[in-house]
Structure 1
Amino acid sequence: MRLAFNNFISIYQGLSREIWVLSVVSLINRIGAMVIPFLSIYLADAKGFTLAEIGWVMSSFGVGSLIGSWLGGKLTDKFGFYPIIIFSLFTSGIGLILLKELDTFYEICGGFFLVTLFTDILRPPIFVAIRQYSSEKNRTKSITLIRLAINLGFSAGPATGGLLIATWGYTSLFWVDGVSCILALLIFVLAIQPKKKIVEENDDSLEENKKSQSPYRDFPYLLFILSMVFFGVIFMQYFSTVPLFYKEVHELNEAVIGLLLSSNGFVIFLLEMPLIHWVEKQKKYSTMQIMMSSIVLVLLSYILLIVGHDLWVLFIGMMLLTLGEMLMFPLSNAEAMSRASGKYQGDYMALYTIAFSISHLVGHNLGMQSVNIFGYNYTWTFMIAGLLLCIVLLQLFQFSKKREELSQTAK
């Protein structure tokens, strides 16, 4: 038992102090994001909004996320990651506290748009900071630790939010969310000092070429981002249309559905870091092969939704999805980071986060409309086809990268 514990602890060794601080900042920030799970309930109960009005507020939320991610990349490339992280945490903290003062439909739409914009400006600079404070050897593990903190924060946030609402009402959510951002800001400023220069890991011709190349002109990278958009749209269904499928088709109650969904976060918390540690030691398979395998795992989970009739089959499907998620997100993030270099680092990482902002913006509504028109089984079939397209796009990305490397070598 002691040996197993020591082996588990050793997985986390070798990461820089700054990465641990960024993880703590991410944890506090995401625990504080407890307004989000209760947003629709708050708007209906406390503000008396109709479902249509709530839908528009959620849309303004999604647009804010999309623009914030793009703007975060631009600002990071211009000013560096350090001041932009401070700016995002400060403005989102103040904004969350002020949200409780808004009452009308248009005020709340505008308020949530701005607060989400300020909040998601944080994403690109965090990724750029990870690149600076980690080596190529432990970069994927560093990303995984940040993801672990975010998942833990998302798991703890709703429980904390529910207790706050029951004890002090909805107003307390905005106060605690805002103060948590300010607390994360203080920890970041006190624990991390800005570095004056980002040290490039190599100076080969391909890297020099990327330094002067915008990601929007990087054709292989755009193929990669497109595959992430498709994957994100399909992945999101497990947290929008699939729970409805559990209830309407399998007649599961909310408690069982909650356990199925929470098993995802629990398994990620326990196993993602050891899994990535094991994957990094594998020399037989490339990163791209493992990413494609993760897509196959998610594809199999959708097949089980079509053919499965028992609860244990649904659970296996959820575990397949979780395993695919644990492999795809850290590795795809590291792949995006490996192409980000020089003055366009922020733009590269912004485009990666924008892919999942688009997935949020489009995926939930697209899945619901598909279920309404075609039914569940046809919708799952469409998702399987989309995952096959993801694999094709990743193959094209890999092929384009090889052509690019050959072309640079020839020069």
Structure 2
Amino acid sequence: MKTLYLNYINSFKGLSSEVWWLALITLINRAGTMVIPFLSLYLTNDLGLSLENVGIIMTSFGLGSLVGSWLGGKLTDLFGYYRVMLISLVLTGILFISIQFLSDFWVLSGGIFILMIVADAFRPASLVALSAYSKPENKTRSVTLIRLAINLGFSAGPAVGGLIIATLGYGGLFWVDGGTCIAAGILLWSLLNPRKAKVLDQVKNSAPKSAYRDLPYGLFIGSMVLYGFIFVQYFSTMPLYYKEERLLSEYEIGLLLGMNGLLIFTFEMPLIKFMESRPWSKIGNIIAGLFLVLMSFFVLNLSSWGGIVVIGMLLMTLGEMIIFPFSNAFAMDRAKRGNQGEYMALYSIAFSISHVFAHNSGMLSISQYGYEITWYAAALVGLLGILLLLALKKLIRRK
């Protein structure tokens, strides 16, 4: 037991103080996004909007995220990651507070769209900052630390959000959410000011290349879009499957989804440290992770035994723990060839595209073909992603 504990602690060693501060800022920011899980409830219960209108607003949410990721990359290349992160955090806080005063459907749709543009401009800028504050050999573990902060934030946020709604109502939720974003901005200004923060990996490129003309990177982004399409099913169609097909209660579904976050928090960093010590390429690791995720869908059709859903969740979680750190690290390494903001924006956009289209695609597939065909289709999408990654691996080896 002591050896396991020491190995766990050692997996965090060697990361710069700037990465730890960035993780703290991310934790505060993500814990503050407590409005998001309750947004559909707020729109239906508090504002009385129809489900069709809620669907349009959620589409505005996804489109704003996509535009914000693209714009954040462009602005990062023009003005630097620090300014984009600081302005994004402060403006997001102000916009979150302001959103509660919008009640007209179309005005609210536009407000959510603008909010997500400003909020998600932070993402590519933060990835470029993470790259700058990490030594080359620590980038994958630095990404993993940030992911731990995100998972902790998302775990704490809904619990705190439910308490705020019960005591202060939805209005209090927007005030607290906006306040945490502004607090994260103040921390960023205090702790990671360019005059104080130490840059460990300064990339200087006199002739930067466009990410849109990088064929290997295009194959990589395509594989991430396909992965995103099946990954987001665990947060939209999969809970319905647990309820309707496997007859699980809301409590049991919550435990199953909560197991995902607990496993990531406990095992991801030691797992990544172990895999980094092996002579395996980042692309090879991503392929292995994607195979585990596609198998998490495939096994659900193999048995009516109740425990198969636990096996599916374990496979998905293990695949997720491998894919996100190594894919993020690959993107950061590739970004050294050109405009870093543009490269990291494309990485964020891959998952924004998935959020815009994958939820509706999954729901439509279930309504027309049922769960069994949908899960086979999800596994096939994962297999296509693996084929793209194999082509990428071959292309890189040839070059």
User: In structure 1, how many angstroms separate the alpha carbons of the residues matched to 2:31 and 2:147?
Assistant: 13
- Any idea what the Cα deviations from partners look like across 1:123-166, whole Å, max 9, x if unmatched? 00100001110011100000000011001100111000000001
Instruction: Name 2:363's counterpart in structure 1.
Output: 368
Residue pairs, 1:187-202, within 5 angstroms: 187-194=187-194
Contact 2:209 2:337 in 1 (8 A): no
CA distance in 2, matches of 1:403, 1:341: 20
Partner of 2:316: 321
Return the TM-score normalized by structure 2.
0.97
Could you say which residue in structure 1 is the equivalent of 2:158?
158
1:74 match: 74
Would you say 1:308 and 2:308 are equivalent positions? no
Amino acid at match of 1:108: L
What is the CA–CA distance in structure 2 between the aligned matches of 1:200 and 1:259, rounded to whole Å? 41
> Are the aligned partners of 1:308 and 1:314 in contact in 2 as well (CA < 8 Å)?
no
| 2:220 counterpart of 1:224 | yes
- Counterpart of 1:98? 98
Q: How does 1:237-252 map to 2 (within 5 A)?
A: 237-252=233-248
CA distance in 1, matches of 2:352, 2:393: 24
Go from structure 1 to structure 2 and tell me whether the alpha carbon gap of 1:114 and 1:305 turns closer, same or farther (over 3 Å shift): same
Q: Which residue of 2 aligns with 1:169?
A: 169
Any idea what the Cα deviations from partners look like across 1:342-400, whole Å, max 9, x if unmatched? 65000000000000000111111000001111111111111111111111100111122
In structure 1, the gaps of 5 or more residues are 405-411
Letter in 1 for 2:349: I
Name whichever of 366-375 and 190-199 sits farther off. Answer: 190-199
Alignment partner, residue 286 of structure 1: 281
Partners of 2:260 and 2:88 in 1: how far apart? 29
Distance 1:199 1:322, change over 3 A: closer
Equivalent residues in 2 for 1:4-403, closer than 5 Å = 4-194=4-194, 211-283=207-279, 285-341=280-336, 344-403=339-398
RMSD over aligned Cα atoms: 1.7
> Gaps spanning 5+ residues in structure 2: where?
none
Q: Residue by residue, what CA displacement relative to the aligned partner does 1:61-116 show, whole Å, maximum 9, x if unpaired? A: 00100000000000000000010000100110000011111111011101111111
Q: 2:96, 2:177 within 8 Å by CA — same for their partners in 1?
A: yes
Normalised by the length of structure 1, the TM-score is 0.94
Separation (CA, whole Å) in 1 of partners of 2:198 and 2:180: 30
Whole-angstrom distance in 2 between the partners of 1:7 and 1:261: 27
SS state of the match for residue 311, structure 1?
A: coil
Q: Secondary structure at the match of 2:307?
A: helix
- With over 3 angstroms needed to count, the CA separation of the structure-2 counterparts of 1:46 and 1:220, relative to structure 1, is same
The CA distance in 2 between the partners of 1:147 and 1:33, in whole Å, is: 15
* Partner amino acid, structure 2, of 1:302: F
Q: Please state how far the C-alpha of 1:198 moved relative to its aligned partner.
A: 6.7
Counterpart-to-counterpart distance in 2, 1:384 and 1:2: 39
**Deviation at 1:311?**
2.4
Matched to 1:55, the amino acid is G
Match of 1:407 in 2: none
Question: 2-side partners of 1:276 and 1:246: how far apart?
Answer: 30
User: For residue 21 of structure 2, what is the amino acid of its counterpart?
Assistant: V
1-structure distance, mates of 2:51, 2:343: 36
User: How far apart in 2 are the matches of 1:252 and 1:312?
Assistant: 12
Q: Give the whole-Å Cα distance in 1 for the aligned partners of 2:398 and 2:213.
A: 16
8 Å CA contact 2:133, 2:199 repeated in 1: no
- The one-letter amino acid paired with 1:58 is M
Equivalent position amino acid for 2:71 in 1 = L
Q: Which runs of 4+ in 1 moved over 3 A?
A: 1-4, 195-203
Aligned residues: 398
* Residue identity (%): 49
Sort the Cα spacing of 1:78 and 1:197 in 2 relative to 1 into closer, same or farther, 3 A: farther
User: How far off its partner does 1:289 sit?
Assistant: 1.6
1:185 Cα deviation (Å)? 0.7
Whole-Å separation in 2 of the counterparts to 1:356 and 1:218: 19
What amino acid is the match of 1:79? F
CA deviation after TM superposition for structure 1 residue 192, in Å = 1.2
